[in-house]
């Protein structure tokens, strides 16, 4: 199973390199089902792995000038605050079990995993449906982006909270926001998304260091190194594979995975 898990790490990195998102959508299930990591701890590990991988992957976008730093700061600051606060105080404060349904206790780990699977279904929908915006990836934005500050602030807080709860980088939420709210071209949106994901995921992971849960640094290092190889491969492949074809295909895969997790967990619960 571990071999499959490390193959999954490559695929996770490739996802980030190809479409600028989807890393945590794969990371948490890989950690839970192939490495038997506790679901709550897996969300913490996911923050570190996805954050470090995104940071390395953003290097090529920096060289190409695909990161709009002002946008990254405006969106990233509220997101970073939200994810750190969620990991440091909200997640530890959640009761375990969360609640009971018909005499069946729903543990915190199960609740977070089901919530993550529902997020996967939402992410799949956003990747499968045809986008309303049709901005060519080669278009150069000569005008400075116009900011809808209240919406960008709200989006940053929401994405940061979701990231903190389930360890999801939120690229599938960030990229449409950057295109629609900040009016960035698609390639700039992907590059800016990676640097935002890196910052908020790694700083959010610091919130977990306040807890008593031991961190397996050796495992994190190996998994992250393999994922980094994947994102470098994905970045090279992205020059040859149209994003318009890849994203829906990945969306269907994520949809199947999300439905599988929900079905499996609910079956075991019953």
pLDDT digits over 188-203, tens only?
887 888 898 888 888 8
6, 3, 10: which is closest to 228 by C-alpha? Answer: 10
Q: What is the pLDDT of residue 178?
A: 77
Q: What is the mean pLDDT of the chain?
A: 80
Please give the structure tokens belonging to residue 207. 């919130």
Q: Are 197 and 54 in contact (CB under 8 A)?
A: yes
**DSSP-based three-state secondary structure for 57:** helix
Q: What is the pLDDT of residue 89?
A: 87
**197: how many CB neighbours lie within 10 A of its CB?**
32
**Kind plus residue range of the DSSP H or E element containing 105:** strand 104-106
Q: What is the pLDDT of residue 132?
A: 60
Q: How many domains does the chain have?
A: 1
Distance CA 253, CA 45 (A): 22
User: 206-230, pLDDT tens digit by residue?
Assistant: 877 766 678 899 999 999 999 999 8
Q: What is the pLDDT of residue 187?
A: 75
User: 132-176, pLDDT tens digit by residue?
Assistant: 655 444 444 445 556 677 777 788 888 888 877 876 666 766 776
Could you tell me the residue range of the domain that residue 207 belongs to?
2-269
- Here the contacts of 25-31 (C-beta below 8 Å, separation 24 or greater) are 25/119, 25/120, 25/123, 25/168, 25/172, 25/254, 25/257, 26/257, 27/167, 27/227, 28/113, 28/116, 28/166, 28/167, 28/168, 29/257, 29/261, 30/5, 31/5
pTM: 0.74
């Amino acid at each position: 199973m571990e071999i499959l898990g490390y193959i999954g790490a490559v695929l996770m990195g490739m996802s980030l390199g190809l479409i600028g998102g989807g890393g945590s959508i794969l990371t948490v299930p890989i950690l839970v089902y192939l490495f038997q990591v506790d679901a709550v701890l897996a969300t913490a590990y996911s923050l570190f792995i996805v954050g470090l991988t995104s940071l390395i992957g953003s290097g090529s976008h920096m060289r190409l000038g695909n990161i709009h730093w002002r946008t990254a700061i405006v969106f990233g600051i509220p997101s970073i605050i939200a994810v750190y606060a969620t990991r440091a105080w909200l997640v530890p404060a959640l009761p375990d079990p969360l609640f009971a349904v018909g005499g069946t206790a729903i543990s915190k780990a199960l609740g977070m995993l089901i919530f993550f699977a529902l997020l996967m279904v939402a992410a799949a929908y956003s990747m499968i449906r045809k986008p309303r915006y049709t901005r060519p990836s080669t278009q150069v934005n000569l005008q400075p982006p116009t900011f809808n500050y209240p919406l960008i602030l709200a989006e940053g807080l929401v994405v940061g909270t979701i990231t903190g709860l389930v360890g999801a980088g939120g690229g599938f939420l960030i990229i449409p926001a950057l295109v629609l709210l900040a009016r960035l071209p698609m390639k700039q949106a992907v590059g800016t998304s990676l640097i935002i994901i890196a910052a908020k995921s790694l700083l959010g992971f610091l919130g977990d260091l306040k807890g008593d849960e031991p961190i397996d640094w050796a495992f994190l290092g190996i998994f992250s190194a393999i994922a980094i190889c994947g994102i470098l491969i994905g970045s090279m492949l992205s020059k040859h594979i149209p994003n318009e074809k890849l994203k829906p295909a990945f969306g269907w895969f994520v949809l199947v995975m999300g439905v599988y997790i929900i079905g499996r967990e609910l079956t075991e619960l019953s």
